[in-house]
């Protein structure tokens, strides 16, 4: 018996059903107009319901963020070139905030502040979007910084250590090696599983290309993300770049990964924010910066930390540039008070060809010492004292004062220790080799060497400790105390290696 398919609706019936159905609810949509256009900003009227930080879309395709809410007008920061805007063109609300793609698809890529690709590897295949601004985790979701993040640089790992989840400021004048320290720290994370994000803020294109080349040469590009907001980009993109970097880092931290974020540099970020604020007629404060510049950086850096609940950590190395060694300038003092310590690079040490030019008298780590291996702590205390005494005596020795034998010995020891802290770029050093070199310098093995002979001697010691670490690797892994026996073994091994090299050089001569 055939199955009854029911009545067949004709076209007339379908049209009548549509006519009889209730009409859709009216949809109210606000359309604004561009009243003024500036360099990176626009003034918009007619959007009375727009919210702060809301994303607007212009008819020309440019997007912008609502910064100022005033009666009858909005101050908008553009995320694209202002040359494309025309007075009177339509502006529509999106009901959204600025978001960026996050996830593993970004690893190995170079993107802009909106997560759009700037390399030649096609679109970014990331389906997840995260807002660039979120509230920082509260104290109940944080734990103490207890794990070291090795930079591979003797002067930092021994005397100014950095821990996972710490915010350590890199500060110094131009051309003192700030970016080099940050890049070497990233290169030293090879094989550790740490995700690295390098955020170039207002940098020249050739400088960013140099960093990308170093990451590729060091086999770290596949485990890194480069965010480039160059000086040729809109100031709005420069402003949101570090926030986008933190959102990308938070995705990996939520998955239990450890993330290192380098912000190079926040001086240019502050300048971009000042430019936007002055164009929007915000009241200027000290050094013409707006009054909320401290909050701009504080809410950004507070998102870093060591987190609980199975989440990982976010370590931040913000960079700030000083002028004429003026650490008391507005932006450097703000960032010093926000962060957990600073690595100060001295132009005086640069003139003495001391690289990295870390001034241990001004540099400090308020947190990382708790995450530092005990063996490093035992060496670092004497290191600071030796260098401080040497620098004081060096000043007196310049006057040609007749020095006794003990003072000359202290000067020789200080010069040897300072030379031992030198390290070439792109040559991060394992912890065992660092300890061996520092112990050899502190025990006087390098005192009688000329300045040019120190680097070859350190290479010999490093090669010897790679062949026989004298138990240093196990000692560091267990965070054990540096015993007298281990110290003697390391020093004897270094002395034998140097003697062997000296004998070989004598035979060749």
Give the pLDDT score at 3. 54
As a whole-number percent, the residues of the chain with pLDDT over 90 amount to 77
Local confidence band at 157 (pLDDT 50, 70, 90 cut-offs): very high
Query: Which domains does the chain possess?
Result: 31-93 (2.40.30.20), 99-371 (3.40.50.300), 376-508 (1.20.150.20)
Give the pLDDT score at 407. 85
Average pLDDT, the chain: 92
Distances (CA, A) of 111 to 235, 239, 276, 361: 16, 15, 23, 38
pLDDT in tens, 249-295: 999 999 999 999 999 999 999 999 999 999 999 999 999 999 999 99
Give the pLDDT score at 222. 96
What average pLDDT does the segment 90-115 reach? 95
Annotated binding-site ranges for ATP: 172-179
pLDDT in tens, 275-288: 999 999 999 999 99
CA distance 112 to 252: 19
Give the pLDDT score at 365. 94
Residue 316, strand partner residues: 167, 261
pLDDT in tens, 41-76: 999 999 999 999 999 999 999 999 999 999 999 999
Least confident piece of the model among 24-33, 359-368, 431-440: 24-33
What average pLDDT does the segment 412-421 reach? 92
Higher pLDDT, 398 or 359: 359
**pTM more than 0.75:** yes
Give the pLDDT score at 11. 80
Local confidence band at 509 (pLDDT 50, 70, 90 cut-offs): low
CA distance 299 to 202: 20
**Whether residue 232 has pLDDT greater than 50:** yes
Least confident piece of the model among 3-7, 296-300, 350-354, 358-362: 3-7
CA distance 254 to 314: 10
As a whole-number percent, the residues of the chain with pLDDT over 70 amount to 96
DSSP class of 360: T
Higher pLDDT, 26 or 164: 164
Give the pLDDT score at 1. 47
What average pLDDT does the segment 210-218 reach? 96
Residue 411 near residue 403, CB atoms below 8 Å: yes
Annotated binding-site ranges: 172-179
Give the pLDDT score at 7. 63
**Whether residue 94 has pLDDT greater than 80:** yes
Angle, in degrees to the nearest 10, between helices 266-279 and 330-338: 120
DSSP alpha helices (H): ranges in 218-292?
235-254, 266-279
Return the beta strands (E) in 123-192 as ranges.
128-131, 169-172
Burial class of residue 231, CB neighbours in 10 A (0-12, 13-18, 19+): middle
**Whether residue 121 has pLDDT greater than 80:** yes
- Give every CB contact of residue 150 below 8 A, 6+ residues apart in sequence: 157, 188, 192, 431
Residue 314 near residue 259, CB atoms below 8 Å: yes
- Catalytically active residues, by annotation: 366
What average pLDDT does the segment 463-491 reach? 91
Query: What is the CA 25 to chain-centroid distance, rounded?
Result: 50
Question: 109 by DSSP, 3-state: which?
Answer: coil
What average pLDDT does the segment 442-455 reach? 91
Local confidence band at 380 (pLDDT 50, 70, 90 cut-offs): confident
Output b/e per residue, 293-330; b: 16+ Cβ within 10 A: bbebbebbbebbbbbeeebbbbbbbbbbbbeebeeebb
């Amino acid at each position: 018996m055939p199955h009854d398919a029911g009545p067949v609706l004709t076209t007339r019936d379908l049209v009548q059903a549509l006519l009889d159905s209730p009409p859709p609810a009216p949809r109210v949509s606000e359309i604004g107009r561009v009243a003024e256009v500036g360099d990176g900003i626009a003034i918009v009227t007619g959007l009375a319901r727009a919210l702060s930080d809301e994303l607007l879309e212009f008819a020309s395709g440019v997007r912008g963020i609502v910064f100022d809410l005033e009666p009858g007008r909005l101050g908008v920061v553009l995320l694209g070139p202002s040359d494309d805007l025309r007075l009177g063109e339509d502006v529509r609300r999106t009901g959204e905030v600025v978001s960026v793609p996050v996830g593993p698809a970004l690893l190995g890529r170079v993107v802009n502040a909106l997560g759009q690709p700037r390399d030649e590897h096609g679109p970014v295949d990331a389906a997840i979007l995260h807002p660039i601004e979120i509230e920082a985790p509260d104290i109940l979701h944080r734990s103490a910084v207890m794990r070291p993040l090795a930079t591979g640089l003797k002067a930092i790992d021994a005397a100014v250590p950095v821990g996972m989840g710490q915010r350590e400021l890199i500060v110094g004048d131009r051309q003192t090696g700030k970016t080099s320290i940050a890049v070497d720290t990233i290169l030293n994370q090879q094989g550790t599983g740490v995700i690295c994000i390098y955020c170039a803020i207002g940098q020249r294109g050739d400088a960013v290309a140099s960093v990308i080349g170093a990451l590729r040469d060091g086999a770290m590009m596949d485990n890194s993300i480069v965010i480039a907001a160059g000086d040729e980009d809109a100031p709005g993109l420069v402003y949101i770049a570090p926030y986008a970097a933190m959102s990308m880092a938070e995705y990996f931290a939520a998955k239990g990964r450890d993330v290192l974020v380098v912000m190079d540099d926040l001086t240019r970020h502050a300048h971009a924010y000042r430019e936007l604020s002055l164009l929007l007629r915000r009241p200027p404060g000290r050094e013409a910066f707006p009054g909320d510049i401290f909050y701009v950086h504080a809410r950004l850096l507070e998102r870093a930390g060591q987190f609980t609940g199975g989440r990982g950590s976010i370590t931040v190395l913000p960079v700030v540039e000083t002028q004429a060694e003026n650490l008391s300038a507005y932006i450097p003092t703000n960032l010093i008070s926000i962060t957990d310590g600073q690595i100060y690079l001295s132009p005086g040490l640069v003139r003495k060809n001391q690289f990295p030019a870390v001034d241990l008298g001004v540099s400090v780590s308020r947190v990382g010492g708790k995450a530092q291996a005990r063996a490093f702590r035992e060496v670092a205390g004497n290191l600071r004292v030796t260098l401080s005494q040497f620098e004081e005596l060096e000043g007196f020795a310049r006057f040609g004062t007749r020095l006794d034998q003990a003072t000359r010995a202290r000067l020789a020891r200080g010069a040897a220790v300072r030379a031992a802290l030198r390290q070439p770029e792109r040559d991060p050093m394992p912890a065992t080799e660092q300890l061996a070199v520092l112990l050899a310098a502190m025990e006087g093995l390098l005192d009688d060497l000329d300045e040019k002979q120190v680097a070859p001697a350190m290479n010999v010691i490093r090669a010897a400790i790679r062949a026989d670490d004298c138990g240093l690797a196990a000692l560091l892994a267990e965070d054990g105390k540096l015993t007298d026996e281990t110290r003697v073994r390391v020093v004897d091994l270094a002395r034998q290696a140097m003697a062997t090299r000296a004998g070989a050089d004598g035979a060749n001569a």
